[in-house]
Amino acid sequence: MASILDIRRRIRSVINTRQITRAMKMISAARLRRAQERALAARPYAQMLTNVLKSLVTRADTYDSETGEPLHPLLVRRPEQNVLLIVVTGDKGLAGAFNANILKAATRFLESKRGKKVQIVAVGRKGRDFLRRRFRAAESTSAGAGSDSQVTLVGEHVGVLNKIDYALASEISEQVIARYTHAEIDSVYLVYNEFKSVIAQRVVVEQLLPVEHIGAPEIVEASSEMELREKQRAIDAAKGTGVSLRPADTSAVDEAAAKFATAPVDYIYEQPPRQLFGSLLPKYVATQVFHALLESVAAEHAARMTAMESATVNAGDMIDSLTLSMNRVRQAKITREIIEIVSGAAAAQ
């Protein structure tokens, strides 16, 4: 049986751990609030851009009237041979199943694209590490064996997630757009953790290119909603942190954005609508990427907040049970000492 001193030491260590997890939870909550604010602040631009594009689609002939062929390279559909997948994970762990879930979805996606060449761009250290471990080997063996399924890691963005800006999204999207336009790749997908609120999130695979419907991203695959138990845990974690459980109210922003470039008047177009459409579409893709990055960051902080709340609760339970066994040990020791004294006295008589 452990001595009282040992147990006391363990209790102290668990108390320290609990302090750390509690602090980490509060930090995550603060970062989550900030991430939510940023996502909200980014909304007007994205909405306005979407609205302009939507109204331009009707004015600019985006499809050739005779052949039905799309006139913009980002609308062109080709048979899918070369696929590019952008995987957005976190830079750090200790966020429950956050990174694992995304990578699971990514792996499933890769399974479904078996037989095609898939290139991966990893955003976030966790995803990069996982994919690199997994596919560097795959690449070297398949190159020799002439395997028909090739997965290669072609780009990575690591350590950028704690100060995420539009420039990063713009860089990523410009790269994929350039390669798509040159027909090096035939489709581009994004896998990331969508974040509506603390209790409404899921991992989605979204089709980025070709652009199918403007304003309605093509969700190819989505994980199921959170389980009730997970939701309850998230609700508990959000308590007392000032993190709202409901999705942010965007109706006012959306309404204002909806007015953009859609007034019922005859606009003077400085440039032909088709040219405008052509220069706006790539920006639309960039905002999609930016949106995914922002949501992923928010989701990561939410996941960490929940995980740290659970850790704090578990540490509390452990302290309770350790305290209980410490008291038992102490009790046993006292009892033993009394018996020794009593029996010693009895022997002396």
Partner 1 sequence: MADSFQLEIVTPEKLVVKDSAEEVQIPATTGYIGVLPGHAPLITELGAGEISYRSGGQVHRFATAWGFAEVLPTRVTVLAETIERPEDIDVARAQQTLQEAQDALKSADSEAEVETQIAKVRRAQARIEVAEQKNV
For the CB of residue 151, give the shortest distance to partner 1 in the complex, in Å.
Answer: 29
Residue 266, both tokens: 């005859």
Residue 297 is a binding residue for partner 1 (CB under 8 A): no
Distance of CA 339 to the CA centre of its chain: 62
CB of 317 to partner 1, least distance (A): 43
In the region spanning residues 152 to 181, those forming contacts with partner 1, defined by CB under 8 A, are: 165-166, 169-170
Q: Is 275 one of the binding residues for partner 1 (CB under 8 A)? A: yes
d(CA 182, CA 329): 74
Of the candidate spans 40-48, 154-162, 240-248, 314-322, the one that interacts with partner 1 by CB under 8 A turns out to be 40-48
Q: Which is nearer to partner 1, 111 or 266 (CB)?
A: 266
Which is closer to partner 1, CB of 48 or CB of 105?
48
**Residue 196 contacts residue 247 (beta carbons within 8 Å):** yes
- Verify binding: residue 286, partner 1, rule CB under 8 A: yes
Taking CA atoms, 25 is separated from 97, 256, 302, 325, 332, in Å, by 16, 35, 9, 29, 38
Please, are residues 297 and 164 in contact by the beta-carbon 8 Å criterion?
yes
Residue listed under structure tokens 């309605």: 216
Distance CA 29, CA 49 (A): 31
Single out the residue of 276, 293, 303, 307 in contact with partner 1 (rule: CB under 8 A): 276
CA distance linking residue 182 with residue 336, whole number of Å: 84
CB 280 within 8 A of CB 56: yes
In the bound state with partner 1, the residue whose beta carbon lies nearer, of 55 and 107, is 55
> Tokens for 124?
């976030």
CA nearest to 106, candidates 208, 244, 203 = 203
Provide, rounded to whole angstroms, the least separation between the CB of residue 132 and partner 1.
30
Binding residue for partner 1, selected from 26, 45, 202, 250, defined by CB under 8 A: 45
In the list 58, 224, 279, 349, the residue contacting partner 1 (rule: CB under 8 A) is: 279
Q: Which DSSP string corresponds to 214-249?
A: TTS-EEEEEPPPPPHHHHHHHHHHHTTTT--SSPP-
Decide if residue 250 touches partner 1 (CB under 8 A).
no
What is the Cα–Cα distance from 76 to 65, expressed in whole angstroms? 15
Instruction: Compute the distance between CA of residue 330 and CA of residue 204 in angstroms, rounded to an integer.
Output: 54
For the CB of residue 54, give the shortest distance to partner 1 in the complex, in Å: 13
Question: Among 15, 26, 30, 42, which residue interacts with partner 1 (rule: CB under 8 A)?
Answer: 42
Tell me the two tokens of residue 165.
């800006």
Min dist. Cβ of residue 88 to partner 1 (A): 17
> Does 33 sit near partner 1 (CB under 8 A)?
no
CA angle 186, 142, 123 (to 5 degrees): 55
Binding of residue 287 to partner 1 (CB under 8 A)? yes
Q: Does 285 engage in binding with partner 1 (CB under 8 A)?
A: no
Binding flags for partner 1, 207-246, as an x/- string (CB under 8 A):
----------------------------------------
Number of residues engaging partner 1 in binding (CB under 8 A) = 31
Amino acid at 60: A
Assess contact for 46 and 173: CB atoms under 8 A.
Answer: no
Give the single-character DSSP code of 97.
B
242: DSSP letter? T
Contacts to partner 1 from residues 52-91, by CB under 8 A: 52
Identified binder of partner 1 from the candidate list 3, 140, 271, 327, rule CB under 8 A: 271
Interface of this chain with partner 1, residues 5 to 24, rule: CB under 8 A: none
Site for partner 1 contains 38 (CB under 8 A): yes
Binding site for partner 1 (CB under 8 A): 38, 41-42, 44-46, 48-49, 52, 165-166, 169-170, 260-261, 263, 265-271, 275-276, 279-280, 283, 286-287, 290
